[in-house]
């Protein structure tokens, strides 16, 4: 026996249609690539998105076809989320920071037919174009409707195309499981891994993220101004292009200007109340604020994800009256975790509250989390057991585009190692591939790294496993010192000693000039492991012979 | 091209499983029928609901079978929402306040196989039983596992049955569109009209109601304690049995004790922060508070729906620090409207803010609203146009159980007449069948009634249309005076004159001893219209001849 409710599909376009109806005059503010400000409202945005859909239809694109975007956080990019997928097409949000050979690989894999670019990605597009096989043309998004001089073939002006269309276009209705956005994970090895969000999953994720529970600072939507500093090509800018209109929030888009000074200027001018970014960006912001002697009085909440936020960053933000909500998430499972404090935390003394702030959020309705051991057996949520984190639910990826399914167990393996607490909070311990397995126990490389960077001389630190005849693996600490800083191996060990368990102490320390990094700014540990393969005594330490195993930068 | 996200159905049982995992120790507090307090937590509730499902299976019930409930707001009733529908059965929540012949009609129509009753509904069940054809047995819900002396055949103790089952039962997975709860509207004429909520519609409605936007007083769930004073058989107690666990809120259930003194006692003892009830109940509460000299310091928000809240009630509650959120809703379309102030309202002077508080909430994402004229043409959301309110979306009924579909247009006719404002707010003007059509314009019976009860002598007022040779219809005011109060027709008209447009002034006033009421406490206007059929001069006015058209109670 079925229910007798309307069979209305969950489509992302209904989010914008809602905002245009009930919050029609609420603003979308966006920084153009030239630094100037563009300003319009949801009802005007709806009209433009409908014109865009009509235009894409006129280009001969049909349901399921992929349209790529090589763009930053502008109102043009915002419009693609609705104008492309509203028409039943799939928006492939491409990360322009990837290496060119990776870009060619994923654009080919996605079979993008058109790619939307702007003045900032034009040069990149020109160097990719000769290697692409599926692309039929390029849409150039610029405030003007003119076209740049370019080697690209078949370039159309976005604004010109919109002007040629009528705004009374009607979006088709279709299965809510239809693909809406295609987003490749930033993994740099192996096959490209494309996550395909459905309309259903985006609407549900946006609903989950809109629950009062999520950030604890949400008020009636129109009192908020939300700014995704997270790029729109990273898991849909953490869903803000959807959650803002869904809640009638003002949306503030920083364009491609991610310099702390420009971000702070925009936050102050537009009275941004909630912003989302990775820890590195927040670090830049607090450092700028300190040097400029400024505050951000309107900003009430910092949503922090991507990697764990270090304690000094949280302390700094909270001292400025900006509440920090860490949320675990990944391209394959965005928006399932709440950033508000767990039950009882508000009643704890400040120091203990702080320990909770250091966790990566807490479970929310809609995304089930569990931890399992190496054999796949579920472990208790006791705050002690450590296991591989798995996720399940309607906003979790079941597989990757044109790849064999990887979730045969019904659960997504997140690649993270975590503790789960009985109050629902999540404590990420390490990446599964980075954890060091020593004598049957697990050592967290991230925990040692966090302890190492607390030393005033240390700029960056990476901990990897090195083979050990008795313990199987032991930790090696690879550190980059700050310019001019000096530290001995013994000083470093003395520093670590009170901060980590005795049996976690690195067997060896190495000081290097720099760490190998991925395009998205993470340490390339695979390369470190190659460099330092073998047991702890067999590799060459790049130390200054005059000072022993110690380095003067 | 479909998305590649997990195909996880939206099932209500996942709400309770979430609460048991992430808010396992959060309490459900319920007043037993004998007045004592029952207290347990979500993890214990989950275990009992699983046992209940196992028990129902053991009784031979299978997917789609209906199980009725004749019960009040107890933890037992809460368990039925999960234990019955978690097993794929359909919970038919029956309103014990209906007339017995109506009850027999709807139980037969629903073909309930088992009915869950308690000590308070036992007598009613006994008098219904001889007339029922589908019912195979009765589950008696009582803190003990004993059975009462009764004429009912095949009565089983609920507690006894649960004890006989194991808690490791696993809920089946099924299509999210499966029926979950069957709820008949309280209409008293014509065929029974059963609304069939699907699992999907309940989960979505609960998500919509959990958005920060909804009541404006939600904080991280565990800081709230929610009390549905609205009976659980009215549109699932306005979804609180679902929204509370979904957000990790403490749930406080008043049992069948709806007396203001008992309600206030429970609110104070359990630190209830949010409560939901119709205006009549809130009136009882503020009157009790005034007479007892008490306040409700924990209570931050009153959710008010069912009918429009009169101004004095809103003023009284807000003066006590209780924020009033009016939300329009109906059995066929619950949970689609937000109770928080519209954009810009917070910046208005208090008096104008108040006018907004008098509206019936504002549109939220997920339920589209529009107004149409008599021909079905959509009217603008300009705050001026008045039309028939229609609703559409995934939590709106597409039809009624075993009745012809009534939403051929794709929209549900709500039976309400409303204005929609450009800021998304909703102003209910009248019921479609009660609006008075005078000279091509519409007069709101509810607006005149509201103005009439502002007179200190008036206890109740009802306005109906009476035929008029020139204007087609004109308003007649039927009023009940307070004990001992006296008022003349002219005094009444003088009172109304500044409050309503001149052409709305009733052509006639009648004072009566009482108004005919429905089982759910609404004025039976059909009966009034029969009594006062004909033109304004043809009916007998029940006035005191000594005083002219005036009444001394």
Report yes or no: A497 at the B interface, CB cutoff 8 Å.
no
Residue B543 confidence (pLDDT): 38
Question: Is the pLDDT confidence value at B536 over 60?
Answer: no
- Catalytic position from the list B437, B454, B471, B527: B437
Residue whose tokens read 């693609």: A80
Give the closest residue to A505 by CA, choosing from A435, A428, A452. Answer: A452
DSSP state of A22: H
Residue B72 confidence (pLDDT): 96
Arithmetic mean of pLDDT, A130-156: 95
* pLDDT band for position B111 (cuts 50, 70, 90): very high
The interface pTM score, or ipTM, of the predicted complex is 0.89
Question: Is the pLDDT confidence value at A407 over 70?
Answer: no
Residue B425 pairs in a beta bridge with B362
Distance CA A492, CA A455 (A): 8
Q: How many Cα atoms are found within 13 Å in the side-chain-facing hemisphere of B51?
A: 18
b or e along A471-482 (b: 16 or more beta carbons within 10 Å of the residue's beta carbon)? bebbbbbbbbbe
* pLDDT band for position B539 (cuts 50, 70, 90): very low
Residue B346 confidence (pLDDT): 79
Residue A438: φ, ψ to 5°: -120, 115
Helix, strand, coil shares, percent, chain A, to 5: 30, 25, 45
Q: Which residues, other chains included, contact B95 with Cβ-Cβ below 8 Å and sequence gap of 6+? A: B184, B186, B231, B233, B234, B519, B520
Among A162-166, A270-274, A443-447, A545-549, the least confident range: A545-549
What is B265-289 written as a DSSP string?
Answer: HHHHHTT--EEEE-HHHHHHHHHHH
CA dihedral of residues A406, A409, A410, A413 (deg, nearest 10) = -60
Question: Is the pLDDT confidence value at B376 over 50?
Answer: yes
Query: How many contacts (CB atoms, under 8 Å) link A and B?
Result: 238
Q: Report residue A263 as tokens.
A: 């971000």
Arithmetic mean of pLDDT, B307-321: 90
Question: Is the pLDDT confidence value at B49 over 90?
Answer: yes
pLDDT in tens, A499-532: 998 999 999 999 999 999 876 667 888 889 888 8
Q: Parallel, antiparallel, or unpaired: how do β-strands A114-118 and A66-70 relate?
A: parallel
CA dihedral of residues B224, B225, B231, B237 (deg, nearest 10) = 30
Distance CA A42, CA A18 (A): 9
Q: How many Cα atoms are found within 13 Å in the side-chain-facing hemisphere of A494?
A: 5
Residues of A classed as catalytic:
185, 332, 437, 442
pLDDT in tens, B15-25: 999 999 999 99
pLDDT in tens, A64-112: 999 999 999 999 999 999 999 999 999 999 999 888 999 999 999 999 9
Q: How many Cα atoms are found within 13 Å in the side-chain-facing hemisphere of A307?
A: 18
* pLDDT band for position A174 (cuts 50, 70, 90): very high
Judging contacts by C-beta atoms under 8 Å, the chain B residues touching residue A63 are 1
* pLDDT band for position A221 (cuts 50, 70, 90): confident
pLDDT in tens, A2-49: 999 999 999 999 999 999 999 999 999 999 999 999 999 999 999 999
* pLDDT band for position B354 (cuts 50, 70, 90): confident
- Catalytic position from the list B26, B93, B121, B185: B185
Distance CA B387, CA B370 (A): 9
Q: Higher model confidence: residue B267 or residue A468? A: B267
List A residues 53-82 in contact with B (Cβ-Cβ < 8 A). 63-64
Distance CA A10, CA A193 (A): 25
Judging contacts by C-beta atoms under 8 Å, the chain A residues touching residue B179 are 1-4
Residue B342 confidence (pLDDT): 80
B193 catalytic? Reply is: no
Contact between residue A116 and residue A158 where contact means Cβ atoms under 8 Å apart:
yes
Contact between residue A354 and residue A348 where contact means Cβ atoms under 8 Å apart:
no
Residue A438 pairs in a beta bridge with A441, A472
Distance CA A203, CA A224 (A): 20
Judging contacts by C-beta atoms under 8 Å, the chain A residues touching residue B214 are 212
Distance CA A118, CA B104 (A): 69
Report yes or no: A290 at the B interface, CB cutoff 8 Å.
no
List C-alpha distances in Å: A243 to A4, A18, A309, A333: 28, 12, 23, 16
B363–A18 C-beta distance less than 8 A? yes
* pLDDT band for position A381 (cuts 50, 70, 90): very high
Judging contacts by C-beta atoms under 8 Å, the chain B residues touching residue A214 are 212
Q: C-alpha B413: how far from its chain's center?
A: 18
Arithmetic mean of pLDDT, A462-483: 92
Give the closest residue to A245 by CA, choosing from A212, A207, A200. Answer: A207
Question: Is the pLDDT confidence value at A355 over 90?
Answer: no
Residue whose tokens read 């499983």: B17
CA angle A150, A154, A156 (to 5 degrees): 85
pLDDT in tens, B447-462: 899 899 989 999 999 9
* pLDDT band for position B316 (cuts 50, 70, 90): very high
Report yes or no: B397 at the A interface, CB cutoff 8 Å.
yes
B213–A397 C-beta distance less than 8 A? no
Give the closest residue to A503 by CA, choosing from A471, A539, A536, A530. Answer: A471
Q: Which residues, other chains included, contact A139 with Cβ-Cβ below 8 Å and sequence gap of 6+? A: A114, A115, A116, A117, A155, A156, A157, A158, A161
Most confidently modeled of A159-163, A218-222, A428-432?
Answer: A159-163
Contact between residue A338 and residue A327 where contact means Cβ atoms under 8 Å apart:
yes
Question: Is the pLDDT confidence value at B546 over 50?
Answer: no
Judging contacts by C-beta atoms under 8 Å, the chain A residues touching residue B113 are none
Give the closest residue to A19 by CA, choosing from A295, A216, A226. Answer: A226
Q: Higher model confidence: residue B199 or residue B486? A: B199
pLDDT in tens, B399-433: 999 987 666 789 999 999 999 999 999 999 998 88
Task: Pick the residue of B6, B23, B85 with the most A CBs within 10 A to test the interface with A by mutation.
Answer: B6
Residue whose tokens read 């009085």: A297
Question: Is the pLDDT confidence value at B141 over 60?
Answer: yes
Question: Is the pLDDT confidence value at A541 over 70?
Answer: no
Question: Is the pLDDT confidence value at B380 over 70?
Answer: yes
Report yes or no: A401 at the B interface, CB cutoff 8 Å.
yes
Residue whose tokens read 């927040």: A282
Question: Is the pLDDT confidence value at A461 over 90?
Answer: yes
B424–A21 C-beta distance less than 8 A? yes
Q: Which residues, other chains included, contact B355 with Cβ-Cβ below 8 Å and sequence gap of 6+? A: none
* pLDDT band for position B31 (cuts 50, 70, 90): very high
**CB neighbour class for B218 (10 Å; exposed up to 12, middle 13-18, buried from 19):** buried
CA distance A531 to chain B (A): 37
Q: Mean of the per-residue pLDDT values for chain A? A: 90
Arithmetic mean of pLDDT, A390-396: 96
Question: Is the pLDDT confidence value at A545 over 50?
Answer: no
**Alpha helices (H) in A422-513, listed in sequence order:** 445-453, 489-496
Q: What percent of chain A has pLDDT over 70?
A: 93
B437 catalytic? Reply is: yes
* pLDDT band for position A548 (cuts 50, 70, 90): very low
Arithmetic mean of pLDDT, B215-238: 82
């Amino acid at each position: 026996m079925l229910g007798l409710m309307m069979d209305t599909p969950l489509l992302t376009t209904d989010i914008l249609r809602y905002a245009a109806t009930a919050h029609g005059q609420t603003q979308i503010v966006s920084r153009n690539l030239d630094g100037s400000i563009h300003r319009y409202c949801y009802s005007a945005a709806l009209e433009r998105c409908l014109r865009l859909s009509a235009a894409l239809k006129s280009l001969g694109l049909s349901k399921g076809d992929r349209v790529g975007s090589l763009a930053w956080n502008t109102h043009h990019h915002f419009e693609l989320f609705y104008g492309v997928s509203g028409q039943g097409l799939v928006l492939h949000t491409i990360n322009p920071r990837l290496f060119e050979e990776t870009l060619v690989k994923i654009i080919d894999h996605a079979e993008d037919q058109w790619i939307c670019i702007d003045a900032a990605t034009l040069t990149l597009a020109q160097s990719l174009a000769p290697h692409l096989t599926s692309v039929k043309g390029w849409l150039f998004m610029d405030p003007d409707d003119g076209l740049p001089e370019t080697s690209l073939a078949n370039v159309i002006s976005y604004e010109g195309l919109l002007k040629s269309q009528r705004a009374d276009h009607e979006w088709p209705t279709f299965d809510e499981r239809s693909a809406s956005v295609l987003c490749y994970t930033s993994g740099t090895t192996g096959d490209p891994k494309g996550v395909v969000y459905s309309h259903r999953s985006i609407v549900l994720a946006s609903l989950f993220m809109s629950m009062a529970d999520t950030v604890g600072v949400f008020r009636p939507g129109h009192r908020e101004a939300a700014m995704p500093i997270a790029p729109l090509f990273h898991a849909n800018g953490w869903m803000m292009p959807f959650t803002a209109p869904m809640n009638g929030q003002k949306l503030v888009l920083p364009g491609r200007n991610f310099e702390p000074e420009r971000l702070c200027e925009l936050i102050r001018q537009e009275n941004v109340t909630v912003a989302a970014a990775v820890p590195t960006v927040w670090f830049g912001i607090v450092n700028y604020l300190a040097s400029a002697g400024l505050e951000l009085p309107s900003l009430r909440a910092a949503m922090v994800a991507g990697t764990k936020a270090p304690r000094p960053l949280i302390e700094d933000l909270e001292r400025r009256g900006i509440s920090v909500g860490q949320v675990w998430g990944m391209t394959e499972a965005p928006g399932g975790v709440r950033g508000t404090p767990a039950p009882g935390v508000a009643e704890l003394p400040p120091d203990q509250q702080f320990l909770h702030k250091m966790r990566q959020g807490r479970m929310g309705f809609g995304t089930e989390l569990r931890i399992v051991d190496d054999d796949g057996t579920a472990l208790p949520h006791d705050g002690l057991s450590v296991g591989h984190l798995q996720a399940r639910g309607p906003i979790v990826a079941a597989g990757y585009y044109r790849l064999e399914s990887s979730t045969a167990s019904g659960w997504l393996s997140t690649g993270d190692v975590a503790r789960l607490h009985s109050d629902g909070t999540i404590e990420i311990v390490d990446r599964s591939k980075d954890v060091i397995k020593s004598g049957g126990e697990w050592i967290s490389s991230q925990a040692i790294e966090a302890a190492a960077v607390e030393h005033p001389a240390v700029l960056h630190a990476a901990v990897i496993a090195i083979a050990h005849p008795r313990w199987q693996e032991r930790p090696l600490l690879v550190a980059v010192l700050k310019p001019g800083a000096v530290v001995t191996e013994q000083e470093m060990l003395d520093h670590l000693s009170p901060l980590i368990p005795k049996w976690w102490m690195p067997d060896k320390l190495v000081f290097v000039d720099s760490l190998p990094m991925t395009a998205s700014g993470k340490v390339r540990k695979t390369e470190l492991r190659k460099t330092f393969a073998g047991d702890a005594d067999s590799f060459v330490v790049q130390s200054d012979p005059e000072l022993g195993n110690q380095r003067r930068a």
